[in-house]
Chain A
Amino acid sequence: MNKHAKLPETDEGTVLFNVDPIIVKYHYEIDYLHSYAQDSPFFAGLAAKKLLGSRCTACGYSYATPRGHCMECGAATEWFELPLQGRIHTYTTCHFGGEAFLKETLFTLILVEFDGVDTLFLSRLVGAEPDEATIGMQVKARFLRNSKFKPTDIYFVPV
């Protein structure tokens, strides 16, 4: 037992914004071990310059954004290669964004539709000014040379 026990003092301090009420800076960050799980083949596909969608093995419904099981009937889906050319279904140019994307503004988001595929795919349009994007415009896929295993490994440019 030591009745003179003392915690060591540190010089780390606290960032203070206000005193009434007291507002301090509280830092928080975390690295997740994020598994793409059953979606993994899609990201492996991007690294191989392939865009993979899902087709239902029971009802044939096809998804441009993959899912392991069919939203319509619940059966398992199989992978299939999507065409690398499609049309803009809708679009927007973001002048602001979430903090992580602010440095990338302006950027243009598009939903791409493919012939014969029942659902759409969210991506970015590159190589067109904001006022040049139109609904129905033909776009083709490009891939990053060095894959980051993210959906942004693929993007679209005007045909």
Chain B
Amino acid sequence: MRPVYMISGGITKFAKAHPDKDFRLMVKEAFDYAMADVPALTRKEIDGSVCSYFSDHFTRQLMAGAMVQDYLGLSPKPSRRVEGGGATGGLCFQSAWEAVASGRMEVCLAMGFETMSRVNTWKGNEFIALASDTNFDYPVGGFYSGYYAMMVRRHMHEFGTTVEQMAKVAIKNHANARHNPYAQSPALLTVADVRSSPMVATPLTILDICQMSDGAAVVILVSEEMAHKLCQQPVRISGVGCGTDAMRMADRPHGKVPLLPHESEGDYANLKYPGVHSFRGGRSAAGLAYRMAGIVNPVRDLDFVELHDAYTSSEIQTYEDLGLCRYGEGGSFVDSGAPFLDNLDYGLAFTGDQRWPKLPVNPSGGLLACGHPVGATGLMQAVFAFWQLQGTIGRHLGDDTLQLPEARRGLIHSHAGTGTYITVSILERGGI
């Protein structure tokens, strides 16, 4: 495999509805933005693409990827569609990485979108729930927020995680998004705001849950030679990993924790794993990506993380899967202030627990505040990570508040189902 670099990206403003633009035009906007950021790249040099969108039900158009391909003027070049629930964007990113790493392409476009406003919110929830076993899960009351509520209820039982700790995740991500003009729902919140908002599935309130969105994002990945030729500040993809688990969370076994390099068996002597409280596929994805990137202790070796916070609870669960803290410590990790930005006032007091250094998580605002147009989400994370590592947040967002001073290495994490497909990719500044 050869080195792969990201040289550009683009995002549309994520919103509840963009009825004025269909999926082709949204991707075109993101694509034009990305192309404008690398003037040396011509459309002719793009060898092909991978397209990600989650749901044919939302799109009401089969082979929509082919329509994007022709709309962008990329026919008759190679293209394919990638789909894997909420991880669709992350899988698309890695599929484009494979195209370049294998030598099949020099320049590959990863493009993703979702148009979720085409049905009402509760029909949309029904569509999403069809991504659970339609014999055994969906008919019982198929509702992803219900599934995640059951998972975090068990996390609370096993580890003492609290709804206040979950609320702090919502506060963090919505506050970060106040400096991100692409975000759908920036807000300054309090714990009381989160807890008093409408209950959706106990203990998750509507502010514990991301919203449905219309939006698109694109990423351009290239070989080392093309990176040299086209871009002043390319970002290297130094690690990729992917993991899976049983579709039905009722099937999750009880075994041993797969250990990351900085952990020991004694850390989890009595923990039945993963049960429904943790995501084994996330651990698997992280382990593979860390090994490839040479990461030994993620909380120290990473400078920021953009992870799939479809729920405040799943952000906490994911800290643990990624090994940012041990299993069971996710709530305390939030309380410590470690995942918050230093330069923002969240109206919260932190414990300052010294077990963890500062590691901003979802500086962009994450899914909770940016929105979650499924097929675009994993690519949106890549674009924000790319701008962080380039140091160009100020230029792209028109506000440099979210720019981390020394961002050299970041992680992006994309997650489907109840942890059914999960991808982790590591991006690093420079390296040529």
* Interface positions of A (Cβ within 8 A of B): 18, 21, 23, 26, 28, 34, 36, 39, 63-65, 67, 71-72, 89-102, 104, 107, 109-111, 118-124, 130, 135, 150-152
Q: Within B232-282, which residues are at the interface with A (CB < 8 Å)?
A: 246, 248-254, 276
Q: Please, how many angstroms separate the alpha-carbon atoms of A118 and B134 in the complex?
A: 22
Q: Inside 8 A of A21's CB, which chain B residues have their CB?
A: 19-20
B20-A111 in contact (CB<8A): no
B201-A92 in contact (CB<8A): yes
| Contact among A72, A121, A135, A152 with B250 in the assembled complex (CB-CB below 8 Å) | A121
Instruction: Write the nearest CB–CB distance from A4 to chain B, whole angstroms.
Output: 37
Q: Please, how many angstroms separate the alpha-carbon atoms of A107 and B154 in the complex?
A: 18
Q: Please, how many angstroms separate the alpha-carbon atoms of A114 and B305 in the complex?
A: 39
Q: Please, how many angstroms separate the alpha-carbon atoms of A135 and B275 in the complex?
A: 14
B253-A119 in contact (CB<8A): yes
Q: Could you list 10 examples of A-B contacts with CB < 8 Å?
A: A64-B250, A65-B248, A90-B154, A92-B204, A97-B143, A98-B141, A109-B140, A119-B252, A120-B252, A135-B157
Q: Inside 8 A of B154's CB, which chain A residues have their CB?
A: 89-90, 135
* Interface positions of B (Cβ within 8 A of A): 19-20, 60, 120, 122-123, 125-126, 128-129, 134-137, 139-143, 145-146, 149-151, 153-154, 157, 198-204, 246, 248-254, 276
A63-B141 in contact (CB<8A): no
Q: Inside 8 A of A97's CB, which chain B residues have their CB?
A: 122, 125, 141-143, 146
Q: Please, how many angstroms separate the alpha-carbon atoms of A104 and B140 in the complex?
A: 11
Q: Please, how many angstroms separate the alpha-carbon atoms of A102 and B199 in the complex?
A: 14
Q: Please, how many angstroms separate the alpha-carbon atoms of A63 and B146 in the complex?
A: 22
A95-B201 in contact (CB<8A): yes
A23-B19 in contact (CB<8A): yes
Q: Which DSSP category, helix, strand, loop or mixed, fits chain A's interface? A: mixed
Q: Inside 8 A of B149's CB, which chain A residues have their CB?
A: 92, 94
Q: Please, how many angstroms separate the alpha-carbon atoms of A122 and B134 in the complex?
A: 12
Q: Please, how many angstroms separate the alpha-carbon atoms of A71 and B248 in the complex?
A: 12
A90-B202 in contact (CB<8A): no
A99-B125 in contact (CB<8A): yes
A109-B250 in contact (CB<8A): no
Q: Please, how many angstroms separate the alpha-carbon atoms of A26 and B289 in the complex?
A: 44
Q: What residue of chain A has the Cβ atom nearest to residue B198's Cβ?
A: A95
A93-B202 in contact (CB<8A): yes
A96-B125 in contact (CB<8A): yes
A94-B126 in contact (CB<8A): no
Q: Inside 8 A of B153's CB, which chain A residues have their CB?
A: 90-92, 135
Q: What residue of chain A has the Cβ atom nearest to residue B248's Cβ?
A: A65
B146-A92 in contact (CB<8A): yes
Known interface pairs A90-B150, A135-B154, A151-B135; A96-B143 also in contact (CB < 8 Å): yes
Q: What residue of chain A has the Cβ atom nearest to residue B277's Cβ?
A: A90
Q: Inside 8 A of B199's CB, which chain A residues have their CB?
A: 95
B248-A109 in contact (CB<8A): no
Q: Inside 8 A of A36's CB, which chain B residues have their CB?
A: 135
A120-B276 in contact (CB<8A): yes
A151-B250 in contact (CB<8A): no
B151-A98 in contact (CB<8A): no
Known interface pairs A95-B199, A98-B143, A119-B252; A109-B150 also in contact (CB < 8 Å): yes
| Contact among A67, A90, A100 with B157 in the assembled complex (CB-CB below 8 Å) | A90
Q: Please, how many angstroms separate the alpha-carbon atoms of A90 and B252 in the complex?
A: 13
Q: Inside 8 A of B248's CB, which chain A residues have their CB?
A: 65, 122
Most buried by A among B145, B150, B199: B150
Instruction: Write the nearest CB–CB distance from B164 to chain A, whole angstroms.
Output: 18
Instruction: Write the nearest CB–CB distance from B128 to chain A, whole angstroms.
Output: 8
B122-A99 in contact (CB<8A): yes
Q: What residue of chain B has the Cβ atom nearest to residue A134's Cβ?
A: B157
Q: Please, how many angstroms separate the alpha-carbon atoms of A23 and B19 in the complex?
A: 8
Q: What residue of chain B has the Cβ atom nearest to residue A34's Cβ?
A: B134
A151-B139 in contact (CB<8A): yes
Q: Please, how many angstroms separate the alpha-carbon atoms of A92 and B254 in the complex?
A: 21
Q: Inside 8 A of B246's CB, which chain A residues have their CB?
A: 71
Q: Inside 8 A of B204's CB, which chain A residues have their CB?
A: 92
B141-A124 in contact (CB<8A): yes
Q: Please, how many angstroms separate the alpha-carbon atoms of A109 and B204 in the complex?
A: 14
Known interface pairs A21-B19, A90-B153, A96-B143; A65-B202 also in contact (CB < 8 Å): no
Q: Please, how many angstroms separate the alpha-carbon atoms of A121 and B276 in the complex?
A: 12
Instruction: Write the nearest CB–CB distance from B245 to chain A, whole angstroms.
Output: 10
